[in-house]
Each structure stands twice: as C-alpha cells, then as structure tokens.
Amino acid sequence: RRLTGHHETSSIHDFSAGVANRGCSIRIPRQVAEERKGYLEDRRPSSNCDPYSVTEAIVRTVCLEE
C-alpha cells in the first residue's frame, strides 16, 4: 500500500528526487541543498540488496545523469 503514491511516498513506477520533499523517492535535506554536501534520504522501502550497488545506482541517477 505504501508504493501506490497516495501516501507520503512516491509510486513504485516513478522515481523522483527533491529538496525537503517527503513525497519523493530520494529526499535531499534543505541544509544539504544549501551547502551542496551531506547526505540523501532514500525513502523507498528497503529490501535485501547490496548497499554499494544501491548507492552507485542512486549517485548515477541523481548526480551524474543530466
């Protein structure tokens, strides 16, 4: 039910990132956006996966794609 996009998370079919937006897949805290350094909050439900592979995918999607 959390993955429908009707609650405080985005739909499983959409990926989004935003500053201080709790409805996005990846939330970027306001202070992190202002200082351009810090951490990202992955708001998607967790599963059993390699954290290094997940981090690579997040960085590739959020930081490297234009």
Residue 5 has pLDDT above 70, yes or no: no
Residue that the structure tokens 């592979």 belong to: 53
Q: List the beta bridge partners of residue 17.
A: 26
CA atoms lying within 13 Å on the CB side of residue 44: 17
CA nearest 16: which of 36, 35, 34, 43?
A: 43
Residue 29 has pLDDT above 90, yes or no: yes
Cα–Cα distance measured from residue 8 to residue 32, given in angstroms and rounded to the nearest whole number: 21
**Mean pLDDT on 19-45:** 87
Cα–Cα distance measured from residue 66 to residue 53, given in angstroms and rounded to the nearest whole number: 20
